[in-house]
Every structure is written in structure tokens, then in C-alpha cells.
Amino acid sequence: MGRWCIDLHNHSCLSPCGSDALLPSILAMEAYDKGVEILALTDHNCCRNIPAFADACEIIGITGVFGVEVTTLEEIHVLALFEEVPQALDFGRYIESMLPRIPNAARLFGNQYVCDVAGTHIEEAELFLYGPADITYDTLVELTLARNGLVIPAHIDRPANSVTANLGFLPELPYSAVESIAIPPVVDTNGYTVIQGSDAHYIEHVGRRRCFIESDVVGFAALRDAFSRNTVSFLGNL
């Protein structure tokens, strides 16, 4: 039985609200230093920094999980996580295609830099990435699972952009897990496996909320296995 430290909710300089200094490679390095072994990048509604993140994870020797934090039509934030880069890129393009046609106002919302593993800027995402994507909460859950992803409603105890705040309850759907900021959770989690994630927007946030899983299998499969058997534990945070 193996035990891994996981952190599945993190942003990079691509998210408008993410620090320009939080390059995908910096995220991977910082998380590695903090003892994280399975790490996800989940920018808002866009996966264009996933290739750089995947390269960095491979170089550093940390298991990368390739995801996106989708804003649904109800303005609920949901993490969709994938094992392979092409799966994430395909899903990311699909989500981006459903964003409102509103250009980013960088002065107000922040920059949206796409970069390579060395941190060189390749391009800027033009549309405002905060969303919402034109997809309902229920459909997003269904679609992510149909594409073999893991689906996790984000920060369900937050007063804005959470399923609890925006719908008033947690609909009974086949989530892989739910993410709570507070442990023990202060909202009803209805028996779902609960995880914590850093939701890092700045370098100093990386690794601030981690949790641990136990599984007989390794890598992405360990997440699925541990969530289904609820072998998630918490040991306090940095």
C-alpha cells in the first residue's frame, strides 16, 4: 500500500487572477519542494499551459495531473482532471470554445500568459478566461466522466462560485470527490470523498493545502482508486 501527498487545485500565470510569476514550471518546482507527489494544474477554463506544466513535471519527477477549473453556466467552479495531456488539451479547447466572446481587460482582471517550460511567453489568451462556459453543472459532471476524467466541485464551502453558494445544495451526482477549504468541512458533503487543494494563485500559496491518499496502484489510477474507497487523510497544512 503506497501513500502519496496530493494537491489537485492550482493556477498559473494563464489564469487572469494568477500571479504572472507563477509559471507552470515554478508551480511544479515549488510543489515538489513542499513534498507534493501528485500535482494538478487547473487554470480557469483553459489548458494552454498544460504542455509546459507536463514538461516540467517530467523533468522534476513529480506526477502531473492535467486539468482545468471550469466555470459552469451557474458560475460554479468545478475541477476536471485528466491523466493524459491530449485529453486535457482537447477538453480545454472545448471549454474555451464555449466562453463568452469578451476580450480580456488585463488592467482589470490580470494577464493571461501562455508560456513554455522555460517560462518564455508564447502568447496571451485573448478571451477573458474567467467564464462562464456555456455548459451546465450537471452536463459538465457527465461529460468529464464520459471522457475518463475525474470531476470535483471546487471549494464547496466558499461563499462565491461554489455549488453550495450558487445552487444552495450539493446535487447528488457521481462526483469523484468534493473539495473543501476547511477540514472538517463546514458544509454538508453528503458522504462524498473530501479533498483539500491549495487553489494557489501565488507562489507562496503552493502546497498550502494538501492531503494524502493510500492506494495499491500508482499515478492517476491511485487517485481514482483512493477516491472510490475514500482513503484520503489530512495531516494539517503548511
- Residues near other proteins (CB under 8 A) are 75, 100, 102, 105, 108-109, 130-132, 160
Say if residue 132 is preceded by a cis peptide, omega within 30 of 0: yes
In the complex with other proteins, which residue's Cβ is closer, 16 or 64? 16
What's the min distance (Å) between Cβ of 75 and other proteins?
Answer: 6
In the complex with other proteins, which residue's Cβ is closer, 95 or 195? 95
What's the min distance (Å) between Cβ of 205 and other proteins?
Answer: 15
In the complex with other proteins, which residue's Cβ is closer, 109 or 212? 109
> Letter for the amino acid at 74?
E
In the complex with other proteins, which residue's Cβ is closer, 111 or 231? 111
What's the min distance (Å) between Cβ of 190 and other proteins?
Answer: 24
Q: Which residues contact 44 (CB under 8 A, 6 or more apart)?
A: 11, 14, 15, 16, 17, 68, 69, 71, 129, 130, 131
Neighbours of 213 (CB within 10 A): 24
In the complex with other proteins, which residue's Cβ is closer, 73 or 183? 73
What's the min distance (Å) between Cβ of 19 and other proteins?
Answer: 14
In the complex with other proteins, which residue's Cβ is closer, 166 or 231? 166
Based on its alpha-carbon atoms, the radius of gyration of the chain, rounded to whole angstroms, reads 16
Among the listed residues 176, 172, 157, the one whose alpha carbon sits nearest the alpha carbon of residue 65: 176
What's the min distance (Å) between Cβ of 77 and other proteins?
Answer: 12
The owner of cell 469578451 is 102
Q: Please give the DSSP secondary-structure letter assigned to residue 165.
A: H
Q: Where are the alpha helices (DSSP H) in 11-170?
A: 24-33, 50-60, 85-97, 106-109, 137-146, 163-167
What's the min distance (Å) between Cβ of 108 and other proteins?
Answer: 4
